[in-house]
Amino acid sequence: MAGLLEKRSMLLLMSLTILGTLQMMFGVVSGGLIHYTKVTMNNTLSQAVTVHCQDRHNDYGYHVLQPNAGYRITFIANPILKRTLWFCSFGWTEEFHKFDIYVQTRDKCENRRCRWLITEKGPCRRTNDTNNPICYPWN
């Protein structure tokens, strides 16, 4: 029984080594097997906005966006379960709102890049047609 357990452990170690080697090889040749999603938020208000974004495991802290400034979060969306969720709070003079800035099943962003405009009424996701963003109300 102990011999079988040793063989399984060795097979697992070899498989992980091969997978790691392939990841490094593909990373150099084709840009990698792991793809990062980038979500950018631009402040369209005439005043500073405090942004706080997090998911279940990560907290990116508080950031102050001056008018016309942007802020980006970068992460790896779950390729199998497709349940990645990032939520943010946005605060400015006497206003405080929340919004799910990235919902993997909702946001089909071009080249894994989602671009949002932060407005008083709610965030608007930019599309290929820059004159017609998709706007959402605050949560």
pLDDT at 111 over 60: yes
Same domain, 42 and 21: no
Cβ atoms 84, 77 nearer than 8 A: yes
Same domain, 128 and 77: yes
- Higher-pLDDT residue of 112 and 67 is 67
Write the CATH number for 62: 2.60.40
In this prediction, residue 16 has a pLDDT band, given cuts at 50, 70 and 90, of: low
Looking at residue 4, what is its pLDDT? 60
- Higher-pLDDT residue of 71 and 110 is 71
Same domain, 4 and 69: no
- Among 9-23, 40-54, 116-130, the minimum mean pLDDT is found in 9-23
Range of the domain at 19: 1-32
pLDDT averaged over every residue in the chain:
86
Helix residue spans in the chain (DSSP H):
2-30
- Higher-pLDDT residue of 92 and 131 is 92
Looking at residue 91, what is its pLDDT? 98
Convert the pLDDT of each residue in 30-83 to its tens digit.
456 678 999 999 999 999 999 999 999 999 999 999 999 999 999 999 888 889
Cβ atoms 71, 51 nearer than 8 A: yes
3-state DSSP call for residue 69?
coil
Same domain, 17 and 57: no
3-state DSSP call for residue 85?
strand
Helix-then-strand count for the chain, H and E: 1, 9
Same domain, 41 and 23: no
Same domain, 28 and 89: no
- Higher-pLDDT residue of 53 and 4 is 53
pTM for the predicted model, two decimal places = 0.74
Same domain, 79 and 43: yes
Query: How big is the CA angle at 41 (ends 57 and 38), to the nearest 5 degrees?
Result: 55
Same domain, 66 and 118: yes
pLDDT at 22 over 70: no
Alpha-carbon span 27 to 117, nearest angstrom: 32
Number of domains in the chain: 2
Looking at residue 36, what is its pLDDT? 92
**Shortest CA distance to 56 belongs to which of 35, 77, 37?**
77
